[in-house]
Structure 1
Amino acid sequence: MDLGLQGRTALVTGADSGIGLATVKLLLAEGATVVMSDIDQQALEAAATTLDAQEGRLHAFAADITSTSSVKALKEQVFDAVGEIDILVQGAGIHGPDGLFHEIDEEGWQQTLDVNLMGHVRVLQAFLSDLRSGGWGRLVFVSSEDAVQPYDDELPYCASKAAILSVARGLSRTYAKEGLLVNTVSPAFIATPMTDEMMDKLAKQRSISRDEAIQAFLEEERPFMELGRRGEPEEVAAVITFLCSDRASFVNGANYRVDSGAVATI
């Protein structure tokens, strides 16, 4: 299927691994020029070496999305390298602290919201003029199943992801008439470095292997994931790439759940 991405230019944040990196790979395969960004330049460059891209179609610039000055510097680097962007995929994020509400301090809340909510706000403030300027734009936020099905020991993360759904829905009403379509993708328990860390922590607590920890987590914490496994980053990236494309020309303000049935509601 031709997704109509030849000649389009995308910026993907959170791109040095997991869902972000898989999305970069698919966008490149569909003919887009892609700028990948994350907080560590060395990690970005290492990730870039794993990708197959024609010269000039892949760029990697580090940025700290908790810093307005760093995001402004990213905007300048992107413009110098590729000009204005047509597509923004916001995948950067952290899990934040685990624990019940009374066990998490203000700093834990603030850090999580600063990355997962305000980080996206800063990036969008810097690049919104690009997305509005050409009469065709795509903005995709990576949220989470936790946004609509919160867990009592992950509330900062859940709240930050729910906020993203609200922001995206509001933006979708504001800019659609200008040709900018805004949507979200909400994965559940994908095989990424973030969930690897979670599973390694659980494995250590229980003196079991990572694979055993994954199965225990699925059975105890995610019983509605009917496929009985973690998702793959490529399975999420496929949906994101579709939403970035001409094929999604009538999709706006939607939240696509890529969760194996994890959310126990229609």
Structure 2
Amino acid sequence: MELNLKGKVAIVTGGSKGIGKGIATALLKEGAIVVITARNADELEDTAAMFRLQGNEVLAVVADMAKEADLQHLVTTTIQQYGHIDILVNNAGGIDTFGPLETITMDQWRRIFEVNFFGQVALTNLVIPHLKKQGGGRIINISSENAEQPDPNMGHYNATKAALNNYSKTLSQNYGKDNILVNTVSPAFIKTPLVDDMLEGISKEKGISIVDAAKQFLKENRPYQVLGRVGLPEETGGIVAFLASDHAAFITGAVFRVDGGSVGTV
């Protein structure tokens, strides 16, 4: 299936590694021009240089999702460089603290909402006028299984992803008339630096291979994940590229899981 994204300009936040890098890879393979952004300048430029060596057109813009001035710079730079924006992929986010709810401080709650939710809202607000001006576009928000199947030791993270799902649906209702289609992709147990570190820790602690560590984790923590392996970032990228294409022109307000069956409900 040809997705025909040639010449489309896509912004991918958190695009230097992990799922964001996989999404950028998938969009580039379909001919899109991709603007990747992240906080770490060295990692971002390394990824951009790799993509350019492969013959792709990539722009790297350093930005912190918690800083509105950075987000304004990102949008302004993209428009100055290419004249338009067609696709926004709100992928940036993460978690750096774990534990029962009573151990999560209010500062940690505020920080994770700034990075995982408010930043996405702020960037979307900046991009929507450009999408409306050109007659439409795509917004694809990257959520998580945690929005629907909360992890008891990730309560603040769960809440940000549940908010993002609800926000995505509301966006789709507000801007469908403008031909701006908004969908959510919810990956889980994807090969990212965070998952790699976790599995390496289990491997060392138990004296088992990384593959066996993954199987053990899934058996103990994700019993509905029937595929029994770690997902690849490009497997999330594939559905994002499809949703960005004209083949998805009648899809909006939906959530697409890329989780190997991990969520235990329909």
% identical aligned pairs: 39
Contact persistence 2:25–2:234 (CA under 8 A) = no
Residue of structure 2 equivalent to 1:213: 213
Give the secondary-structure state (helix, strand or coil) at the position aligned to 1:61: strand
Quick check: 1:148 aligned with 2:142?
A: no
Pairing of 1:174-213 with structure 2 (within 5 A): 174-203=174-203, 210-213=210-213
Quick check: 1:229 aligned with 2:229?
A: yes
For residues 187-224 of structure 1, give each alpha carbon's deviation from its aligned partner in whole angstroms, at most 9, with x where no partner exists: 11001112123334445665655444322211100111
Residue of structure 2 equivalent to 1:160: 160
Measure how far apart 1:31 and its partner are. Answer: 1.3
Quick check: 1:139 aligned with 2:139?
A: yes
Pairing of 1:1-266 with structure 2 (within 5 A): 1-52=1-52, 54=55, 57-203=57-203, 210-266=210-266
Give the secondary-structure state (helix, strand or coil) at the position aligned to 2:69: helix
Q: Distance in 1 between matches of 2:132 and 2:76?
A: 17
2:222 corresponds to which letter in structure 1?
Answer: R
Contact persistence 1:9–1:34 (CA under 8 A) = yes
2:134 corresponds to which letter in structure 1?
Answer: G
Q: Distance in 2 between matches of 1:144 and 1:219?
A: 19
TM-aligned CA distance change 1:132 to 1:94, over 3 Å:
same
Contact persistence 2:143–2:165 (CA under 8 A) = yes
Gaps of 5+ in 2: none
1:250 corresponds to which letter in structure 2?
Answer: F
Question: Structure 1 stretch 184-193 or stretch 102-111: which is displaced more?
Answer: 102-111
Contact persistence 1:96–1:157 (CA under 8 A) = no
2:116 corresponds to which letter in structure 1?
Answer: N
Question: Structure 1 stretch 120-129 or stretch 225-234: which is displaced more?
Answer: 120-129
Q: Distance in 2 between matches of 1:10 and 1:42?
A: 21
Q: Distance in 2 between matches of 1:130 and 1:198?
A: 40
Gaps of 5+ in 1: none
Measure how far apart 1:263 and its partner are. Answer: 0.7
Q: Distance in 2 between matches of 1:81 and 1:163?
A: 32
Contact persistence 1:183–1:255 (CA under 8 A) = yes
Q: Distance in 2 between matches of 1:206 and 1:163?
A: 36
2:162 corresponds to which letter in structure 1?
Answer: A
Q: Distance in 2 between matches of 1:108 and 1:200?
A: 26
Measure how far apart 1:50 and its partner are. Answer: 2.2
Measure how far apart 1:242 and its partner are. Answer: 0.4
Q: Distance in 1 between matches of 2:143 and 2:243?
A: 14
The TM-score normalised by the length of structure 1 is 0.94
Give the secondary-structure state (helix, strand or coil) at the position aligned to 1:60: strand
Q: Distance in 1 between matches of 2:166 and 2:154?
A: 19
CA RMSD of aligned residues (A): 1.6
How many residue pairs get aligned? The number is 265
For residues 26-74 of structure 1, give each alpha carbon's deviation from its aligned partner in whole angstroms, at most 9, with x where no partner exists: 211111111111111211110122225547x211111011011111121
1:136 corresponds to which letter in structure 2?
Answer: G
Contact persistence 1:145–1:263 (CA under 8 A) = yes
Q: Distance in 2 between matches of 1:116 and 1:198?
A: 21
1:16 corresponds to which letter in structure 2?
Answer: S
